Amino acid sequence: MTVIGGGIAGLCAAIAARRGGAAVRLLEAAPQPLRGGNTRHGRNFRLTHETPLEHVPDRYTADELRAELRSVTGDGTDQVLTELLIERAHSIAGWLIEHGVHLQPPGTGVMPYSRRTAFPLGGGKAMINALYATADRLGIAISYDSEARSLLRAEDEGWTISVRSAGADDSIRTRSVVVCAGGPGADPAWLSDNFGSAAEGWMVRGTPYSDGRLLDLLIAAGGCAIGDPTTCHAVPVDARGPQFDGGIVTRITSIPLGLVVDRSGARIDVAGAGSQPTHYAKWGPKIAICPGQIAYLLLDAAGLARAAPSALAPVTAPNLGELAAALQIDPTGLLQSIEDFNAAPVNAARPIAVPPFAAYPMRPGLTFVHYGIKVDATMRVVQADGHRHDDLFAAGMIMAANVLRRGYLAGLGITLSAVFGQIAGEEAARHVRG
Amino acid sequence: MSAADKMSEAERVLRICSACMYCDGLCPVFPVIDGKHSFSLSDVSYLSNLCHNCQGCWHDCQYAPPHPFAVNLPATFAELRQRSYADHLWPPALGRVFRASSLAVPATVALALLITFGLVLDTDSSALLTAHAGEGAFYRVLPWPAMAGLAGGTFAWAVIAVTLATLRYWHTIAPQVTVREIVRALPAALSDIITLRHLGGGGPGCHDHDERTSQRRRILHHLTAGGFVLNGLSTIAASAYHHLLGVVAPSPVASLSVMLGLVGGVTMTVGAVGLLALEARSDREPSDRGETRLNVAFLILLALVGASGLAVLGFRSTPAMGLLLTTHLGLVFGLFAALPFSKALHAPFRAAALLRVAIDSRRRTLARAPEASGDTP
Ligand SMILES: Cc1cc2nc3c(=O)[nH]c(=O)nc-3n(C[C@H](O)[C@H](O)[C@H](O)COP(=O)(O)OP(=O)(O)OC[C@H]3O[C@@H](n4cnc5c(N)ncnc54)[C@H](O)[C@@H]3O)c2cc1C
Ligand code: SF4
Ligand code: SF4
Residue B155 to residue B338: CA distance in whole angstroms: 10
Can you tell me whether residue A149 is helix, strand or coil?
A: strand
Q: Three-state secondary structure along A108-129?
A: CCCCCCCCCEECECCCHHHHHH
Q: Note the pTM of the prediction, 2 decimals.
A: 0.94
Instruction: Write down the pLDDT at residue B373.
Output: 42
Report the DSSP beta bridge partners of residue A232.
A369
* Set of chain B residues whose Cβ sits within 8 Å of the Cβ of A125: 22, 59-62
Measured N-to-C along each axis, helices B101-123 and B321-338 cross at an angle, to the nearest 10 degrees, of: 140
Of all ligands present, the nearest one to the C-alpha of A203 is 1
Give me ligand 2 centre to Cα B209, in Å.
19
Cβ–Cβ < 8 Å for A185, A11: no
Report the DSSP beta bridge partners of residue A151.
A161
Q: How far is B94 from chain A (nearest CA, A)?
A: 37
Q: How many residues in chain A?
A: 434
A105 to B370: CB separation less than 8 angstroms, yes or no: no
Residue A103 to residue A203: CA distance in whole angstroms: 30
Instruction: Write down the pLDDT at residue B364.
Output: 67
Element (H, E) at B137: helix B137-141
pLDDT tens, residue by residue, A387-403: 999 999 999 999 999 99
b/e code A245-264 from CB counts within 10 Å (16+ = b):
bbbbbbbbbbbbbbbbbbbe
Give, in order, the Cα–Cα distances in Å from B262 to each of B222, B230, B265, B308.
16, 9, 5, 11
Residue B30 to residue B10: CA distance in whole angstroms: 14
CA B102 to chain centre: 15
Cβ–Cβ < 8 Å for B14, B77: no
Within a 13 Å sphere around the CA of B96, how many CA atoms are in the beta-carbon half?
A: 1
For atom 7 of ligand 2, the residue with the nearest CA is B17
Q: Which of A34-38, A196-200, A386-390 has the lowest mean pLDDT?
A: A196-200
Q: Return the best residue to mutate from B33, B52, B81, B199 for the ligand 3 pocket (most ligand atoms within 8 A of CB).
A: B52
Mean pLDDT for A24-29 is: 98
Q: How far is A34 from chain B (nearest CA, A)?
A: 8
Within a 13 Å sphere around the CA of A371, how many CA atoms are in the beta-carbon half?
A: 21
Indicate which atom in ligand 2 lies nearest the CA of residue B26.
4
Q: Is A99 on the interface with B (CB under 8 A)?
A: no
Residue A215 to residue B251: CA distance in whole angstroms: 80
* Set of chain A residues whose Cβ sits within 8 Å of the Cβ of B62: 40-41, 123-125, 247
Instruction: Please name which of B64, B77, B216, B217 lies closest in space to residue A126, comparing C-alpha atoms.
Output: B64
CB nearest to A109's CB, from B30, B371, B376: B30
Mean pLDDT for A77-101 is: 96
Instruction: Write down the pLDDT at residue B369.
Output: 45
Give me ligand 3 centre to Cα A272, in Å.
41
More confident residue, A75 or B10: B10
Interface of A with B in 140-179 (CB under 8 A): none
* Set of chain A residues whose Cβ sits within 8 Å of the Cβ of B361: none
A110 to B16: CB separation less than 8 angstroms, yes or no: no
Please say if the pLDDT value at position A240 is more than 90. yes
Q: What is the phi/psi pair of residue B31, to 5°?
A: -55, -30
B370 to A104: CB separation less than 8 angstroms, yes or no: no
Indicate which atom in ligand 2 lies nearest the CA of residue B63.
2
Residue B159 to residue B176: CA distance in whole angstroms: 26
Q: How far is B371 from chain A (nearest CA, A)?
A: 5
Instruction: Write down the pLDDT at residue B248.
Output: 75
Of all ligands present, the nearest one to the C-alpha of A120 is 1
pLDDT along chain B (377 residues), means of 10: 86 96 94 91 94 94 97 96 94 87 91 91 81 79 86 94 96 88 90 85 88 92 94 86 77 85 95 96 92 94 95 88 90 95 94 92 56 46
Q: Write down the ipTM of this complex.
A: 0.95
Percent of chain A with pLDDT over 70: 100
Residues having CB closer than 6 A to ligand 3 are B 23, 26-27, 29, 51-57, 73-74, 77
Give, in order, the Cα–Cα distances in Å from B37 to each of A328, B10, B320.
25, 12, 63
More confident residue, B316 or A249: A249
Instruction: Write down the pLDDT at residue B304.
Output: 96
Within a 13 Å sphere around the CA of B145, how many CA atoms are in the beta-carbon half?
A: 1
Q: How far is A288 from chain B (nearest CA, A)?
A: 18
* Set of chain A residues whose Cβ sits within 8 Å of the Cβ of B37: 304, 307, 309, 313
Q: How many residues in chain B?
A: 377
Give, in order, the Cα–Cα distances in Å from B202 to each of A20, A102, B198, B209.
33, 9, 7, 17
Residue A300 to residue A258: CA distance in whole angstroms: 8
Q: How far is A231 from chain B (nearest CA, A)?
A: 16
Give, in order, the Cα–Cα distances in Å from A406 to each of A70, A77, A325.
10, 9, 39
Q: Return the best residue to mutate from A373, A414, A415, A423 for the ligand 1 pocket (most ligand atoms within 8 A of CB).
A: A414
Instruction: Write down the pLDDT at residue B134.
Output: 76
* Set of chain A residues whose Cβ sits within 8 Å of the Cβ of B374: 43-44, 111-112, 114, 117, 119, 410
State which amino acid sits at residue B140: R
Give me ligand 2 centre to Cα A368, in Å.
22
Q: How far apart are the first and last CA of chain B?
A: 36
* Set of chain B residues whose Cβ sits within 8 Å of the Cβ of A245: 67-68
Give, in order, the Cα–Cα distances in Å from A304 to each of A256, A310, A313, B48.
12, 11, 11, 26
Residues having CB closer than 6 A to ligand 1 are A 4-10, 27-30, 36-39, 41-45, 147-148, 180-182, 205-207, 209-210, 213-214, 247-248, 367, 396-397, 411-414, 417; B 376-377
Report the DSSP beta bridge partners of residue A117.
A46
CB nearest to B372's CB, from A109, A112, A115: A112
Cβ–Cβ < 8 Å for B201, B207: yes
Q: How far is B21 from chain A (nearest CA, A)?
A: 8
Parallel, antiparallel, or unpaired: how do β-strands A159-165 and A357-373 relate?
Answer: unpaired
Omega into B66 within 30° of 0, i.e. cis? yes
Q: Is A112 on the interface with B (CB under 8 A)?
A: yes
Candidates A8, A47, A249, A283: best to mutate against B (most CBs of B within 10 A) is A249
Candidates A121, A240, A250, A279: best to mutate against B (most CBs of B within 10 A) is A121
Interface of A with B in 259-278 (CB under 8 A): 277
Q: Exposed, middle or buried by CB within 10 Å (0-12, 13-18, 19+), for A331?
A: middle
Residue A250 to residue B366: CA distance in whole angstroms: 25
Instruction: Write down the pLDDT at residue B377.
Output: 53
A108 to B25: CB separation less than 8 angstroms, yes or no: yes
pLDDT tens, residue by residue, A334-359: 999 999 999 887 767 789 999 999 99
